[in-house]
Amino acid sequence: MSLDALPAHHPLATGETAESPLVAALEGRRPAHRPVWFMRQAGRSLPEYLKVREGTTMLESCLDPALAAEITLQPVRRYGVDAGIFFSDIVVPLKVAGVAVDIAPGVGPVFERPMRSMADIESLPALGVPGDGGAFDVALEPIRQAVRLSVEQLGSTPLIGFAGAPFTLAAYMVEGRPSRDHMAARELMWAAPDVWEALVAWTSRAAGLFLRAQVLAGASAVQLFDSWAGSLSEVTYVEKCAGGSRAALMAVADLGVPRIHFAANAGHLLDPMGAAGATALGVDYRTPLDQASRAVGGRFPLQGNIDPAMLGAPADALERHVQDVLDRGSEAPGHVVNLGHGMPPHADPDVVKRVVEQVHERG
């Protein structure tokens, strides 16, 4: 891992997080214990999260540096996990760029204007380049501040930067809101391929710049999260989507940080996801980790993949399930324990804490 392009004070450059269990596992090394963190651990089920979020919308919380940092840190304090995941939302880079989007409670991202034509794409805000002092670069400053505040308090515990994958962002923008089948997006990519390619180029640029801002501010790894790629065939994914994910992930490749690529319901896409610029792969709960490792020829450290539903199971059943994940994950060159999707909002924090203890003791 070459870290020459990182700022001298970055926690990887200083060595503060370089030997952490998370970074070691993501680089295919064997740490002293199996690292564990949870997708959507920042908030969701924690009473302290619900309290601190009172009176603020999701996007307001994401763009308040002190609040975003506090929410990022809460699960690290509560659970003793091996990484903080930056508290954000997939539409944050779109919002700060100037796209008219909001998160409707109980609905999700809702766009004022769906993207369906080349004229729509050409109306999107210019994104510029890192550090150019342009509007998008300036608008990312609250994100950089929140990362710096988080990293200062995390110490030797690494922070993972986060962004939504270009396909998921583009699918939301085409539909204008959440969709069960993403039909409008899937039709657009074949009916108007030039429009689709232009939109994915824009979303991959936004996601890549968003990740880069987080890394330069102190994140020690990144995760690109693709909510909806699993709805695609492998052929469609490779032809219409993989290039966007690769562009986003490669935006931080020169910085030397591990790059995790996760997509839900995407066991059939693991190999092309790995080829799309990843250095590690997140695996959802549907694909056993030993099968996932064999599917990619043992080339990638893996992350996952406790079934979130098992957090509500009897203690002995959950314990057996976690042990099975540990056993299967040991076949990969490196293994970071995680859920196979996001933390359920109703998860019992005491149960989650016991999972962390089990992983640390037996992993």
| pLDDT band for position 2 (cuts 50, 70, 90) | confident
Per-residue pLDDT tens for 128-152?
A: 888 888 999 999 999 999 999 999 9
Q: Identify whether 49 is a catalytic site residue.
A: no
Active-site residue among 44, 205, 259, 328?
Answer: 44
Active-site residue among 78, 79, 82, 89?
Answer: 89
Written as six digits, the tokens of 134 are 């342009």
Q: Is 60 exceeded by the pLDDT of residue 289? A: yes
Per-residue pLDDT tens for 299-333?
A: 999 999 999 999 999 999 999 999 999 999 999 99
| 339, 39 Cβ separation under 8 angstroms | yes
Q: CATH number of the domain that 52 lies in?
A: 3.20.20.210
Distance CA 263, CA 284 (A): 7
Helices 349-362 + 315-329 axis angle, to 10: 40
Average pLDDT of 233-251?
97
Q: What percent of the chain has pLDDT over 90?
A: 93
Q: Identify whether 294 is a catalytic site residue.
A: no
Amino acid 131: pLDDT: 82
Q: Is residue 13 part of a domain?
A: no
CA angle 38/43/48 to nearest 5° reads 125
Per-residue pLDDT tens for 56-78?
A: 999 999 999 999 999 999 999 99
| 351, 318 Cβ separation under 8 angstroms | yes
How many domains does the chain contain in total? 1
Distance CA 281, CA 302 (A): 5
Tokens 């693991």, residue located: 270
| pLDDT band for position 197 (cuts 50, 70, 90) | very high
Active-site residue among 40, 116, 186, 212?
Answer: 40
Average pLDDT of 215-238?
96
Amino acid 130: pLDDT: 84
Q: Is 80 exceeded by the pLDDT of residue 1? A: no
Q: Identify whether 44 is a catalytic site residue.
A: yes
Written as six digits, the tokens of 104 are 């409707």
Contact residues for 180 (Cβ-Cβ < 8 A; gap 6+): none
Q: Is residue 1 part of a domain?
A: no
Nearest to 343 by CA among 309, 316, 319, 313: 309
Average pLDDT, the chain: 96
Q: Is residue 66 part of a domain?
A: yes
Q: Is residue 33 part of a domain?
A: yes
Written as six digits, the tokens of 22 are 């998370």
Q: Is residue 44 part of a domain?
A: yes
Q: Is residue 99 part of a domain?
A: yes
| CB atoms closer than 10 angstroms to residue 261 | 31
Residue 8 Cα distances to 64, 143, 159, 262, angstroms: 26, 20, 17, 29
Amino acid 132: pLDDT: 85
Active-site residue among 53, 144, 286, 299?
Answer: 53
Strands of the chain (E only): list them: 84-85, 101-104, 108-111, 159-164, 221-226, 259-263, 280-282, 302-303, 335-336
Q: Identify whether 78 is a catalytic site residue.
A: no
| pLDDT band for position 179 (cuts 50, 70, 90) | confident
Put simply, whether the predicted model's pTM sits higher than 0.95 gets the answer yes
Amino acid 3: pLDDT: 85
Q: Is residue 60 part of a domain?
A: yes
Contact residues for 266 (Cβ-Cβ < 8 A; gap 6+): 226, 229, 230, 273, 284
| pLDDT band for position 127 (cuts 50, 70, 90) | very high
Written as six digits, the tokens of 175 are 């539909």
Q: Which range marks the domain in which residue 187 is found? A: 21-362
Amino acid 44: pLDDT: 76
SS3 of the chain: helix, strand, coil, percent, to 5: 50, 10, 40
Phi and psi at residue 327, to the nearest 5° = -65, -45
| pLDDT band for position 43 (cuts 50, 70, 90) | confident
| 283, 270 Cβ separation under 8 angstroms | yes
Is the previous residue joined to 305 through a cis bond, with omega within 30 degrees of 0?
yes
Distance CA 183, CA 271 (A): 25
Distance CA 71, CA 150 (A): 9
Q: Identify whether 89 is a catalytic site residue.
A: yes
Amino acid 183: pLDDT: 93
Q: Is residue 10 part of a domain?
A: no
Q: Is 60 exceeded by the pLDDT of residue 35? A: yes
Average pLDDT of 213-232?
96
Active-site residue among 172, 186, 205, 237?
Answer: 172
